[in-house]
């Protein structure tokens, strides 16, 4: 069996080549505010009704990602998506996924363990924003339904199509720049391609260089890191920010090679 335990937005994808074209199968879902199952899970928590799942529009207009039908079930709000696009919400990856936020409302919390009785007994935590519904950090957000528990999937290798021969694990430094089929074509070209004769390790190294170059084309090596830090600060403080007409999704791509943990391994054709 293949067991995949995922938290956040790194992905595990099976790759292959059927001869005519590249094939792939995504093995882990992204734990972002657009994940309907995660929305339902978090709405059922103590803080759930007060949480907001919204598109991250540059003008701070808040459009809810989901709406509720008459029977109470949630679904994607297509009208809100159109409105967010009209307000120039940016896309974060090659699959045109929009930037989104999970907003945690302001709250007053009790402060304990202070020796000075003159200090206030409570503290105000301003509205917080996070881009994941599951994470290994973000401990304050864990008070409000964000969890570090992985989503686990068990897959019988015997049930996997035989043309899916390799497994790739990578962070958003890879997946934000490439569609899954593109990655498969780059790493596992068909027999008519000259790169087919190259060892897999060499193709993987060349692919990482292409990824780095894509990021550098957007912001350059230095500005990519600066833009990334600025975007992280915006996401957590919701402070006023400078407008940019470049896709915000490119913030991490200049460091793709350092971030991407790309591992390819031969598929074992064996019964579970």
pLDDT of 22 reads 86
Low-confidence ranges of the chain (pLDDT < 50): 222-227, 229-272
DSSP structural state of residue 137: S
What is the rounded CA–CA span in Å between residue 248 and residue 228? 9
pLDDT of 4 reads 95
3-state class (DSSP) for residue 67? strand
pLDDT of 108 reads 94
Q: How many CB atoms lie within 10 A of CB 73?
A: 10
3-state class (DSSP) for residue 200? helix
pLDDT of 238 reads 45
Structure-block tokens of residue 218: 């957007």
DSSP structural state of residue 167: E
3-state class (DSSP) for residue 72? coil
Helices (H) and strands (E) in the chain, counts: 6, 13
pLDDT of 259 reads 32
- Nearest in space to 58 (alpha carbons), one of 91, 25, 14: 91
**What is the arrangement of strands in the sheet containing 52-55, beginning at the earlier edge strand?**
52-55, 100-104, 128-130
pLDDT of 248 reads 34
């Amino acid at each position: 069996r293949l067991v995949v335990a995922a938290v956040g937005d790194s992905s595990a994808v099976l790759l292959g080549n059927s001869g005519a074209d590249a094939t792939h199968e995504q093995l882990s879902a992204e734990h972002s505010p657009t994940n309907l199952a995660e929305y339902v899970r978090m709405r059922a928590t103590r803080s759930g009704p007060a949480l907001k799942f919204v598109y991250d529009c540059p003008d701070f207009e808040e459009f809810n990602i989901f709406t509720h039908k008459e029977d109470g079930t949630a679904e994607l709000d297509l009208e809100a998506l159109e409105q967010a696009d009209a307000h120039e919400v940016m896309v974060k990856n090659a699959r045109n996924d929009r930037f989104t936020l999970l907003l945690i409302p302001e709250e007053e919390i009790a402060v304990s363990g202070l020796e000075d009785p003159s200090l206030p007994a409570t503290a105000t935590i301003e509205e917080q924003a996070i881009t994941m519904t599951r994470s290994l950090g973000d401990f304050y957000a864990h008070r409000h339904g964000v969890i570090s528990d992985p989503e686990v999937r068990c897959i019988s290798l015997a049930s996997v199509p035989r043309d899916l021969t390799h497994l790739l694990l990578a962070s958003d430094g890879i997946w934000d720049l490439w569609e899954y089929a593109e990655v498969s074509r780059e790493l596992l070209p068909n027999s008519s391609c000259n790169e087919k004769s190259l060892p897999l390790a060499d193709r993987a190294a060349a692919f990482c260089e292409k990824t780095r170059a894509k990021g550098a084309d957007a912001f350059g090596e230095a500005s990519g890191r600066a833009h990334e830090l600025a975007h992280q600060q915006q996401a957590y403080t919701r402070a006023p920010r400078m407008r940019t007409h470049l896709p915000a999704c490119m913030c991490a791509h200049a460091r793709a090679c350092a971030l991407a943990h790309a591992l390819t391994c031969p598929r074992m054709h064996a019964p579970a």
